[in-house]
Structures are given as C-alpha cells and as structure tokens.
Structure 1
Amino acid sequence: MKAVCVFMNFFLNQGMGHGNSGVEHAQFYRAQCFLKGQLPFKIVFTDLLQDLHVHMREWHLPENQVIGLYDFLLAADPFDYLDHGLPADEVHKSHEKILIDQTDTQRMITTQSSGNYQIRRLRDKIFNTEKNIYIVDDAYVSLTKGTHQVEWSYRQGPGEKIMQDIHLTNFLGENYYFLTFDELVTFFLNQLEVHFGQNTYFIDRGTFYDEALVRQKVAGSTQKIVGMVHANHKVSEENGHILFNNFYQYTLDHLDQYDAVVVATKAQKEALKSDLQGYTAAKNLDKIDAIPVGGVTNLGQKKTRKNQKLNLVTASRLHEEKHIDQIIDAVHVLVARGHDVNLTIYGAGAEQKKLAKQIKDLGLTNRVVLAGLSQNVTKDLQRYDVFVSASYSEGFGLTYLEALSQGLPVASYANNFGAKELIHPGENGYLADFLTTDADRNNNVVQLAEAILSCFQDYDRLSAGAIASCRPFLTEKVTEKWVELEDELA
C-alpha cells in the first residue's frame, strides 16, 4: 500500500454536468480560493456520470482535482487515481448502443463512458396503475473496465428507486458485497481516509455523506466535518416550531458531531443562530461561520448610459424556482409603457420550451433572447446594462456578484440573504417587494418592473457603486476566510 498523505480537503457532491446549479459553482469558486491559499482539495462526485470528464474539461477542472466514485472503484490502481485522476489517453467522448424489443421498447443500453469504462443498463417495462402508463426504467446496471466491475440492481422505494445488492469485483484484488449504497459510500470514505489520512469533509450536497460521516464520528473518527448551507435553512414556522430545509435537517439535528457549519452571508449566520436557540447546545452556535461562496478576481470598469434603451440580462438555471417567466412579464409591462427594452437570458434547463412559448405568445421575439448556457458569464455580462433576478430565495446569488463586479446595477426581488446581502437600494441597484402566493404574482411583476426602471435613474452612479460593493468579495479576501477556517479546524 502506498504512503498515506498528510491531509486533504474534500468537497462532497453528487454530480455535475453541462449546466450546473449554484452548489457546483460555489465549489468551483472555493477551489479557486483553495488554490490561491495553497490548501489541498479534491471535488468528489458519487453519481454515475457517463460524461463526467467531458464536462470537467468544459468547466476547466483538471483531472487531479476531481474524484469520481466509479472511476475510483474501477481503476487498475485506485490510489494512483486518487492522486492524479485519469490519464489523458483514457478520457473519451461517450457513445452508446440501444437494443429495442418487438414493442419498440429500449431494453438494453450499452454506453462507453468518458472515463473509458462500459455501462450496461438492463431495463424493465412496468405498468403504473396510478398513472395508467407503462414506465421503462433501469432494473440492473453493470460497469466494466478490464477485469474490474461494479454491478447492482434496483428496488422501488417510496418515490424513488433504491440501489441494492452491489457487487464490487477485483478492487485491489478483492471482491466486495454491499447491501445498500450507504454501505458503498462508507467503504469509499474509509478508502479516502486510508490514503489521505486526517481529512476535512465539506458536505455540499448528499445527506448520505452526513449520515456516514456522523456514524464514523460517533464511533471515534477524528475526521473533520463541515456542513455547507447553500440555501435558506428554514422552510416555515408553525406554532412557534421551525420546519428546517430537508437538505440541512440532519446536519442541524447532529451539530454535536460537526466541526463547523458554513453559510454564505452574515445575515443568514445571525438568522441561523437565532433559529437554533434552544434547539441545540449553546456551544454549537459558535460553530456557524459566514464565508461568501463566491468571489471576484478582477473588477471591471464603471459603465455610462449612452441611450434610452433598457438593455437587460439575467443568467441562471432555467428552472421554475428562478421565475424567469416573471422577468419576461416585467419586460412586457415595460414595453406596454413605451420603453425600448431588450432582455438576454443565459442558462439551460427544464423551463426552456415553456419560456420560448411565453416569449412568442407575448410578441417579444425581437426583444427577448434565450442565449443558452454561458461558459464565461463575467465576460458575457459586460455587454449589458442591468442584471435582473426574480428568484424568491437565494442563499448567496453568485450571478449578482458577477454582474456587480462588471458595473451592472441589479434589480431583484428582495429575497432573504442573497439579494438583501449584496444589493443596497440606491447604491448598486434596487429591490422589489414580493409575496409568494399566486394571487400576488402580477403585483410582484409590476414591482420588479419598477425596480428595473429605478436602476436606470442616475445610472452612472449606480454602476460605480456596483463595483465598489464587490471589493469585500475579492478572491484574496475570501481566500483569507477559508485559510482562517482551516487554521481553526486544525
């Protein structure tokens, strides 16, 4: 067995792809800070990602910064893979073959992954009486690379499929059986500890990580656990009882075993400490720290308004919770008032077709453009004047920061933490009040339209204020906070 490394930081996640959420972008930014602070790290993904290495190149992630669970399990030399990643000659574009039966149903899909292992999926066709349709889904999966193999089957759980009966063949010459995915993850984490020694685990996504690491901590492990809170920690409050976000419930219930909890804003730090009063031991409140999940490397130049056109931009996943449809409606309101407005929407996601139809139905095809995913948001934003967001909830708002750093004032709903932390009305943008009920939607849109218009009043001053507001978020300043946390954990 190879010599154990001294120390490693792991950013634990499930997956990434062509388009990513704020969680992945937070990891990418943190990676930049750790590089700058000379702190060792690896980003870990446990989903079966057939195009992982293609997307890593797309997002400029070197092989030696990422660990994919199945790449590790199938490697000829797993510990060499942990250190260096895949060799360049093993990274390929994935391709697949599909076998159909006499009913034109996909029964077997064979894929050569970007990590150079074969994925074979056998599929079941089962009639769903509740939906009155046949559902075709994976029943058995096998991954093969040379003499190395991982295979499992699925059973239907409440609302989702559950992996079971996992066989790992020829891992360092041994064969293993795991009843559940949780057992496999525990085995994986143990291997990381064997190779890297004393580690710190930053849990970005995946409650199974929390459970596995807490079990190990209770059993005497000295590994460090840091819970990352990327969204609002509280869903609602009923009769004086707080309903916490499911993603963070386990963390908040087991704070005794965590070494730190990191939120993105000072406002959320104070809110979380207040909400946890009496819920957990007082000493645990001191474990909560606020570190921005994003930073800016360079500040742009302030902008000047050159004409009467309202040149707007937004960038996010095209998902329902981002309420891009309300931005489009706000543009429609402004056009109806006689303003010359353009809106460019960067992003990809499930709402794309719906938004395209909305744009067409409102007669805005010459004014609103779905520009697709941006691989360089900061550069693309420079062409516009005002950034707009209609999100009801933002743990931080990375795109706010990217826009502000390029001199774009921001018009946004006054969501907690993200917008209220970064946008200072009259200084670098304007906030619109909103309510979350469907009955208030039209009034919300009008308020957002007013905030957009306000950003064009005294525009040059707001642009200068946007850049000034980013100085506390320069990468070197955020890096200092991560180094301080590392020192505290040590």
Structure 2
Amino acid sequence: MIFFVNKGIGHGNSGVEHAQFYRAARFREKNIPFKLIFTDLLPKLHQHIQEWQLAENEVIGLYDYLLHDDPDTYLREGEVNIHSYQQDILLDDTQTQRMMRCQTTGNYQATIYKHKKHVPEKDIYVVEDDRVILENNNHRISWHYRDTASRGRQMTNIHVDNFRGEYYVFNTFETLVAFFFAEIQQRYQKNIYVIDRGTENEVALIQMKRSGQPIVLIDVVHAAHFVRFQHGQPLWNSYYQYMLDHVHDLDVVIVSTQLQKKAMLTHLRHIGINHVDSEIIAIPVGGVTNISAPRRWSGGIAHFVTASRLHSEKNINHIIQAIHQLRLEGFKSTLDIYGVGSEEQSLINLVNELHLDQVIQFKGLSHQLTDTLAQYDAFVSASYSEGFGLTYLEAMAAALPIATYANLYGAQELIHNGKNGYLANFDPHRDQISDNINHLSTAMRKIFDHYDALSLGAHQLANNYQAEIIATQWQKVVAKYDN
C-alpha cells in the first residue's frame, strides 16, 4: 500500500494538502491504490473529507483507528458512522472556558478540560487545553499536556484503553505515533510511505526502517529547504532539518522544481553528501487537466485575482497596497481575494482604510479554482517563498498572465519573465516593503502592455504540466519500488 502521510486537513488548507489532493487524483487515474494518513486530533475530519471530495476508505485517522470497535474493518472501509459536529462549553463565573465536550464527526466523543494561567512576560491570562479524553463506548484515549522549555506544550501520560482488547501507556506523542505506524505496517504489504508533513512521522518511519522493516520512504519537500549559510554551513528550514540530517535513510526525496533539485544537490555537496542525484526527483505537485484558450485584452478595467491562505507570509497586504497605487496612478483595476485565514480581518481593515471596499472583495474558498480564475484578467501573488505555487499553475491553465514576486522556487520556475508574466524583485527586509510594493505594482501594470502575448505564453507553458505527465512521473517512481 502507498500512504500519503500528513498531520491534518481542514476547511482552509495549505499547499501541502492541495498537493496531496492533486496526487490522489493522479493515482486514481492510474489505478494506483493509496491511503491518506492524518495523525493530528481532527474533530471535524469527516466533514473535511467530504468537503474535499475524498472517499472515507481513502483516509486513515490515527484516533479513528485506535478508538474503533473493529480496526480492521475501519482500515478497509473507513468510518461508516459519520456524525454532525456538536459541542458544549462550560464557563466559570468569569466567563472563562473550563471544559468543552463535543461529538466529533467520527464515531467518538471528546472532552477537553481547560487550564487558565498567567503569562507574566505579557501580563495576560491564557486558557489552554489541560486534559483530553476521547471515548467510543469502552474504547478510550486520554492524556495530559505539560510545558517544556524548548518545545512548548507536549502531550504526556497517554493512555490507550481497549485497543484490540489491550491497554497501553505512552510517555510522548512520538511514541504513540511510532506504535500507530507499527500497527499499520502489520496490516499491509509492500508499503511505501510518502511523507508530506510531520517530523514525528519522519522519526517514527525512519526508526522503523532502521529496525529492518521492508519499507520505502519518500519525503516530499513543499517549501524552500534552505535559509542561508551560517558560519560556512547551510542553515536548513526547520521543517526539513530532520529530513536533510537523515537523507541517507530515505529512498527518494521529491521536490517540485528542477531549480530546487539543483539547489538541494549543491547544498548537500557542500556538507559532503554526494551521489544522491538519482534519489532527488523533481515532480510538480500539481497538474492541469483543462487548459483555456489564450485571451485578448480589449481595454477597460483590469480585474486581478489572488488565491491563498490569508496568512502573513502570503503578503496579501502588499497586493492591496499595489492596487491602491495603481488606482492613484489612474490605472483602473479591481481585486478579488480567494482564501481564508487568520489575517482576514486585518486585511479587511486595510481595504477599508484605503477606501477600496468597492473594488477589492473577499470571496472565501473556491473548490474549483481553475474555473473561478477564468473569470478574471490576471493573477497576482506576493509571497516571498513558494516551493511550487499550485495557484500559479491553475492561473496558467486559465491562460492568465501572472505578476508575482520572484520567489524561490515556484515563481522562478513557472513564471518566465515576458513570456507568461512578470517577476517583481523584492528584498525580504521590513524596511524594503515600500520598494517591493512599487516593483509589484509595476509588474501588474506591465502585464496589460503585452497582454495577448502573455496570455498565449501562459497557455503554452501550461501544456508542460498536464496531469497525465505528472501521473506518469509518479507511476514510474512507484513502479521502481513496488515489487
């Protein structure tokens, strides 16, 4: 069996989850069996399985499995007892949460006891989870949280009661995850684990492989792996530190672009790791199935669109300010923003402060983004870093020219300056934001000086990323080890 290993899934997902959805679609087309594994506690898991058009028998949730009446049936069929999410919250006389009980969308209930503590550094009180109890009749999982100096709050004293009639205690979440993967390993044959997220997942699976289990490990890199050189040595992105420290334990590392493959090989050679060229493979995280015809610009109002999580690292505020700048210069333009996230309210406030509420709209999520993008004239992004940038590809499939910061590695691989859009130079230091926005607005305006040619270029380049090509690349990787 082939497993896509991740921590969680939700209503608004990152590019990691969307990469998994794309990969799942390609595997279905090639009739390659797979299952997605999620190791986080996800009370609304089954709601999101339906929302993102996954099948129940394609998903294994760690807690669903350990709490199930019949774990083997669950592995075959998925969860069949789906519930609506409901919760009750107990407040004390200061209106502080003390306990939350919920019926999860799976077949178990969760009771979470809260703890209120004072944080002297900020002189505020915070409410945190203290004890968690999950129950499905006589099946039960419970744990406490403890504060650690280096890793924050961690699960401890984890009890798993009546799993296959046995009772277990784990000191850490990492040991629980290791137990879970050992269970999975016993139930399937010829296992290939494609690790998309979670250092604890990497640790458990690498230890399993070192113990002699006949497994294949494929680690997928979804972002820039390298930060900078420090004292002559590469400083890795913390999400990929463990992977790069244990690269010899992996069978394959998948990156999204040829640019990142070349960079990673260079960085590894710098620390004395050679002869891994064939183990690092570039496969785009997404592909396109339908490519729109090239467009023509007939003038009028330029309708821009962007789509991403509304988080600070996406710099949506730069795009809003670029629109403001374009309009001050007399260039008629609008912007629609797709996505959800923690920055939404602050972005709405910025739009209102700039009196742009009539020309900038927040549209929420789109589950058919390529079709949605086809309603617009051009795509814009302001992220300083993109491992690939699925939305770039979806914009290209809609034949939209693109204006974006020249980030590594997605923009520099997918956007060819003057061919399908324009790359805006940027400096990540805070005191350079104003200049960055100037560069971005210039790129946005320049699109409409060469619109028809850029739309044709987007259409042509999108053909390099057809879904069938991506599916065949994955099929070759799997075939090498599936014997």
Range into which the TM-score falls when normalised by the shorter chain: over 0.9
Deviations 1:44-95 (A, max 9, x none): 11111111111111111110111111111111111111121111xx112210
Task: Work out which of the residue numbers 276, 280, 283 in structure 2 matches 1:288.
Answer: 280
Whether 1:481 aligns to 2:473 is: yes
User: 2: distance between equivalents of 1:444 and 1:28?
Assistant: 33
> Structure 1 pair 124/144, CA: closer, same or farther in 2 (3 Å)?
same
CA-based RMSD: 1.2
Q: Is the aligned partner of 1:268 residue 2:268? A: no
Q: Greater shift after overlay, 37-46 or 403-412?
A: 37-46
Distance apart, 1:278 and its partner CA = 4.2
Once the two structures are TM-superposed, the CA of residue 169 in structure 1 deviates from its matched residue by 1.1
Structure 2 counterpart of 1:59: 52
The alpha carbon displacement at 1:370 in A equals 1.2
- Asked whether the equivalents of residues 306 and 381 of structure 2 are also in contact (C-alpha less than 8 Å), the reply is yes
C-alpha distance in structure 2 between counterparts of 1:236 and 1:57, whole Å: 41
Q: 2:459 aligns with which of 467, 470, 486?
A: 467
Name the structure 1 match of 2:410. Answer: 418
Out of 89, 93, 98, the residue aligned to residue 98 of structure 1 is: 89
1:13-63 deviation line (CA, Å, top 9, x unaligned)? 111111000000000011111111221111111111111111111111110
Please list the CA deviations of residues 230-260 of structure 1 after superposition, one character each: whole Å capped at 9, or x if unmatched. 0001011123211011111111111111000
Find out whether 1:277 has 2:269 as its counterpart.
yes
1:85 pairs, out of 78, 84, 88, with 78
CA distance in 2, matches of 1:311, 1:475: 28
Aligned to 1:170: 162
Aligned position for 1:27: 20
Please give the alpha-carbon distance, in whole angstroms, between the structure 2 residues aligned to 1:348 and 1:107: 28
**Per-residue deviation, 1:280:** 4.6
Counterpart secondary structure, 2:269: coil
Larger CA deviation: 75-84 vs 319-328: 75-84
Is residue 322–residue 441 contact of structure 2 (8 Å, CA) maintained in 1? yes
Q: Counterpart of 1:283 in 2: which secondary structure? A: coil
The residue type paired with residue 58 of structure 1 is: E
SS in 2 for 1:49: coil
Tell me, in whole angstroms, the C-alpha distance in 1 between the residues paired with 2:104 and 2:428.
43
Structure 2 unmatched ranges of 5 or more: none
- Quote how far apart the aligned CAs of 1:217 are: 1.7
Matched, 1:333 2:325: yes
CA distance in 1, matches of 2:273, 2:389: 30
Q: Which residue of 2 aligns with 1:385?
A: 377
SS in 1 for 2:60: strand
Letter in 2 for 1:220: G
Matched, 1:140 2:131: yes
CA distance in 2, matches of 1:168, 1:235: 40
Cα shift at 1:130? 2.0
Q: 1:233 is matched with which residue: 209, 225, 230? A: 225
1:192 aligned partner, one-letter code: I
2:238 counterpart of 1:246: yes
Shift of 1:190: 0.8
TM-score by structure 1 length?
0.96
CA distance in structure 2 between the partners assigned to 1:412 and 1:379 by the alignment: 21
The more displaced of 463-472 and 266-275 is 463-472
Query: How many angstroms apart in 2 are the aligned matches of 1:400 and 1:381?
Result: 11
Specify which of 11, 18, 23 is matched with residue 18 of structure 1.
Answer: 11
Mapped to 2, the partners of 1:367 and 1:278 lie a distance apart of 50
Aligned to 1:359: 351
Alignment match, 1:122: 113
Distance between the aligned counterparts of 2:375 and 2:232, measured in 1? 48
Structure 1 residue 374 displacement after superposition: 1.5
Separation in structure 1 between the aligned mates of residue 270 and residue 405 of structure 2, nearest angstrom: 32
> Could you give the per-residue CA deviations for residues 319-349 of structure 1, whole angstroms, max 9, x where no partner exists?
1100000011111111011111100000111
> 1:397 & 1:445 partners in 2: Cα distance?
20
CA distance in 2, matches of 1:334, 1:131: 40
- Matched residue, 2:67: 74
Q: Tell me whether 430-439 or 151-160 shows the greater mean CA deviation.
A: 151-160
SS at match of 1:97: strand
Which deviations, in whole Å up to 9, do the C-alpha atoms of 1:150-197 show, x marking residues without a partner?
111111123521101111111111111111111111111011111112
> What is the rounded CA distance, in whole Å, between the counterparts of 1:41 and 1:122 in structure 2?
36
Q: Is the 8 A contact 2:233 2:271 kept in 1?
A: no
On the 8 A contact 1:386/1:408 being kept in 2, the answer is yes
% identical aligned pairs: 45
- Whether the 8 Å CA contact 1:407–1:463 is kept in 2: the answer is yes
| Equivalent residue number for residue 152 of structure 1 | 143
Aligned residues: 481
- Select 1:49's aligned residue among 26, 42, 55: 42
